[in-house]
């Protein structure tokens, strides 16, 4: 099944076929290697995490030490939605350019 743009997509209306997924798994390309962040990016992400925790958002995770990305699986969906809804002042303080 393909999208209107010609890209392959999974048909969610069909049941999951474990055998097909297991058979095709070796044909998948390896995941891309993470791109290391610049030292300044990593320092900024670490500073932001520390600032948000100091502002009372105790669950906010540290960034990945290689990519400086925040893993959104380290918080619940409710926590992430409340971050922008209930902690806007902390976000503005800790992300002055964002």
Q: How many helices (H) and strands (E) does the chain have?
A: 4, 0
- Per residue in 9-61, pLDDT (tens digit) is 777 777 777 888 889 989 999 989 989 999 999 999 999 999 999 999 999 99
pTM of the model: 0.65
Residues in contact with 60: Cβ distance below 8 Å, sequence separation at least 6, in sequence order: 49, 52, 53, 75, 83
């Amino acid at each position: 099944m393909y999208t209107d743009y010609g890209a392959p997509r999974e048909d969610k209306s069909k049941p999951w076929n474990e055998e097909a997924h297991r058979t095709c798994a070796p044909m998948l390309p390896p995941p891309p290697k993470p791109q290391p962040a610049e030292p300044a990016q990593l320092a900024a992400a670490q500073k932001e995490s520390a600032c948000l925790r100091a502002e009372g958002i105790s669950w906010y995770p540290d960034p990945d030490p290689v990519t400086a990305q925040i893993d959104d699986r380290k918080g619940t969906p409710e926590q992430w939605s409340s971050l922008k809804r209930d902690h806007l002042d902390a976000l503005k303080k800790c992300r002055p350019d964002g």
